[in-house]
Amino acid sequence: MQGVLQPLLASAELRAVADSIKDYAIFLLDSEGVVLTWNTGAQRIKGYAAGDIVGQSFSRFYTDEDRAARRPQQHLMVAAREGRIEIEGWRVRKDGSRFWANVVISPIHGEGGEVQGFVKVTRDLTERRRIEQQLKDGEERLRLMIESVKDYAIFLLDPQGRVTSWNPGAERMKGYAAEEIIGQHFSRFYPAEDASSGKAAREPAPATSRRRAGAFARTARGSGPAWCSAPSTIPRAS
């Protein structure tokens, strides 16, 4: 066994610390990527007992597609060259199921500066990714629903009253294309007399204090003024 790795492998204290960590797979690789140690977190996340995996190549944690693309070898090369690599992607458990992993690989250098091995830390982020994907899907469904509404102008304002989204109903009713109005202040929808009197600036105040406000008012659009019902709502932060 190469010199700098031997004390790490022999350290009972280091093994005890690594085994106390249940939410992270923490283990050592030699310079070729062969697994040298295995902790409790690695067994829980990846499904291998130490006897199943120590002495095997870490490439078996990668998908067939990643192995065909030689990504395990590439990741070791980048870690050796850059001093560290952090990636996220699919990894494979012993039973063949996949999980979404955050992986950090760092090199271990000998006294002469040569790479003698690596320490690899893996977290299972499958649940986080599932929640993020659900949120993304929900946002996409909401976007498609809003874009399908033609009889109502539905759009978002930032806290300063600038338009941040625009639906086809808003374009039909107010006459502005999205690229013309996004980023502009919503006061441009008000007739000149209301804008100059400060009504547009006061309008968000009731919504801010009561979460929702409503008005029946004359607003300006590309082709001239129009009467509309204009409720406004403050979205709740989750």
Total length of the chain: 238
Q: What is the mean pLDDT of residues 131-158?
A: 81
CATH of the domain at 41: 3.30.450.20
Q: What is the mean pLDDT of residues 26-52?
A: 95
Q: Are residues 21 and 71 in the same domain?
A: yes
pLDDT at 215: 44
What is the band of 57 on the pLDDT scale with cuts at 50, 70, 90?
Answer: very high
Domain-embedded: residue 18: yes
Q: What is the mean pLDDT of residues 84-97?
A: 96
Q: Are residues 159 and 77 in the same domain?
A: no
- Domain, as residue range, for 175: 149-233
Among residues 70, 91, 126, which one ends one of the domains? 126
Distance CA 109, CA 118 (A): 9
Listed in sequence order, the residues at least 6 apart from 168 whose beta carbon sits closer than 8 Å to its beta carbon are 147, 149, 150
pLDDT at 206: 43
Domain-embedded: residue 72: yes
pLDDT tens digits, 183-230: 998 888 887 776 666 665 555 544 444 444 444 444 545 545 444 444
Q: Taking a C-beta distance cutoff of 8 angstroms, is the pair 230, 218 a contact?
A: no
Q: Which residue has the higher pLDDT, 83 or 138?
A: 83
Please state the domain count of the chain.
Answer: 2
Domain-embedded: residue 144: no
Q: Are residues 93 and 205 in the same domain?
A: no
Domain-embedded: residue 215: yes
